[in-house]
Chain A
Amino acid sequence: MPLRRVLIMAEMHGRDLLRRRVAIALLVALPFSFYLASSDSGPGAAASGGVALAFAVSGAALFSVLSSRAADQRLILSGYRPFEMLLGRLLFLGPLALAIAAMFSATMAPVSSPARPWVLVLGIAVVALQSVPFGLAIGSAVPRELEGTLVLIGVVGLQLATRLDSVASKVLPFYGPRELLEASLSRHAPIGRPLFQTVVYGVALLIAARLCVSRRVNIVRHEPLVLSRSAAGVARSAAGVARGAADAARTARHYAPRRGRFVGQEGAVRPQAFQGERWPRHSRSRGRALR
């Protein structure tokens, strides 16, 4: 049953994205244009193309999360689990990213003439695959599109701007894939370590996305109203009493005096329940001072 939910989620996200024809065209065109524009610069062209591919694929993953934000909680209410929604997106975006990577590799391999073409193909595929959890993690963590886009541009841009051997470059998510692209140009550069690093980073990004998406879309599971008289019911009742005590504590905190001074309109009657308490300075956020 969870697999069916994951498949439906993948299918629907696929339909949603594939109906955005302009977005699909840009998704393919962006890496090609970056690569062809920098193809005169020699070995650096592969890195530019890889970064553009990362921009495109992680952008698609980012928007797949953020564009469905309003519906996500409702989907959870209807019975989906957060990880099923995440897996569904991954299941569609992963193969899509690989398809774009395959087209891109087919262009890059003959034009760049790397020493080890298969490493170049591997590097491009790894860039594409790493971009999916990266976009999903950002989309799950940030509140809106603008913030997400800026984080994406910042991280991917930094990866391109920093030198490969710098510390900053090594802590960024596309270090491993970039090293693989560079390794394709030489016959002896290692590929095991960057590959391993990419896998570890990718798994970490997926875990981060899973945690963020749970925090963002999880719903409150209400207690059932019907109480059983079985042993389990008694246990639940005891748990209910404990929760009641916790509720009372939360209520007390809810009404605890906060910093600030209560100032009502002149002649206004302060509500009975709150007399003597100090209230937050509401107008502070509106840029007004209190008298």
Chain B
Amino acid sequence: MPTQLRASGICKRFGPTIILDRAELSVGAGEVVGLTGENGAGKTTLMRICAGLLAPDAGRVRVAGRVGYCPQVPGLFDLLTTNDHLVMFGRGAGMGRKQAIMRGHAILDEFGYPIQDKAVTKDLSGGTRQKLNLAIALLADPSILLLDEPYQGFDRGTYVNFWDHCETWRSQGKAVVIVTHMLAELARVDRVMELAPHPSRAHRWADA
């Protein structure tokens, strides 16, 4: 299984707080990795570093192919419609207007997205916005998918559907990393990587 993403020796600190200490992550083609860990362990930081949105203090990330990143908090424009988002993000990936809308709608249909041409995203429910967030990550057909708790706000049917899609992505040869706290679904991933908080943060500091 050829490696699609390899992050090695990743260190990151914010001010005095060490978030990541020589973290390693390697994902092969057709592999689904579950990234778990308690709050503040550095899961999102590691995902952002792997996506290229954050520079590590030390360490290196190497990728083979396009990266699709679905952040935990969807960075969408409140007053743009679904199609506006698809056109804008699709154009960045070199897609034409029609192509971006067709591909976007095909992805959204798979997740049961209620497409309304004139509805702006601020009027959509949290789960629906999250579906659009996920669709934008998938729009350019990336070979590496970094999904940071992508199912937040999904209804039960879509949630089950999402995990079914993971198997589809695996069969398509994509390298998938999913940040998850859903332990019941960990059986559906190929490998689980638990990120522990740095030992320096396990200590409590005495009051004066």
Residues of A within 8 A of B (CB): 1, 4-5, 8-9, 12, 15-16, 19-20, 67-68, 70-75, 77-80, 219-226, 243-244, 247, 250-251, 253-255, 258, 260, 263-266, 268, 271, 273-274, 279-283, 285, 288-291
**Given A77-B53, A250-B57, A5 and B92 touching (CB < 8 A)?**
yes
- Are A12's CB and B80's CB within 8 A? yes
Select one of A220, A281, A290 contacting B52, CB under 8 A. A220
| Chain A: CB-nearest residue to B73 | A70
* Complex: A149 Cα to B13 Cα, angstroms: 31
Q: Indicate whether B64 reaches chain A with its CB closer than 8 angstroms.
A: yes
Q: Indicate whether B91 reaches chain A with its CB closer than 8 angstroms.
A: yes
Stretch of B81-89, B105-113, B147-155, B165-173 with 4 or more beta carbons under 8 angstroms from chain A? B81-89
Interface range on chain B: under 10, 10 to 19, 20 to 34, or 35 or more? 35 or more
Residues of B within 8 A of A (CB): 3-6, 9, 11, 13, 15-17, 22, 49, 51-55, 57-64, 67, 69, 71, 73, 75-77, 79-80, 84, 87-89, 91-94, 120, 136, 139-140, 199-200, 202-208
* Chain A residues in 8 Å Cβ range of B93: 78-79
* Chain A residues in 8 Å Cβ range of B140: 78-79
* Complex: A254 Cα to B12 Cα, angstroms: 8
* Chain B residues in 8 Å Cβ range of A4: 91
* Chain A residues in 8 Å Cβ range of B11: 250-251, 254-255
* Complex: A224 Cα to B66 Cα, angstroms: 10
- Are A265's CB and B92's CB within 8 A? no
* Chain B residues in 8 Å Cβ range of A247: 9, 58-60
Minimum C-beta distance from A12 to chain B (A): 5
- Are B53's CB and A73's CB within 8 A? yes
* Chain A residues in 8 Å Cβ range of B61: 220, 222-223
- Are B54's CB and A225's CB within 8 A? no
Select one of B13, B52, B64, B203 contacting A265, CB under 8 A. B203
* Chain A residues in 8 Å Cβ range of B5: 225
- Are A80's CB and B206's CB within 8 A? no
Minimum C-beta distance from A145 to chain B (A): 14
Minimum C-beta distance from A178 to chain B (A): 34
* Chain B residues in 8 Å Cβ range of A74: 53, 69, 71, 75, 89, 136
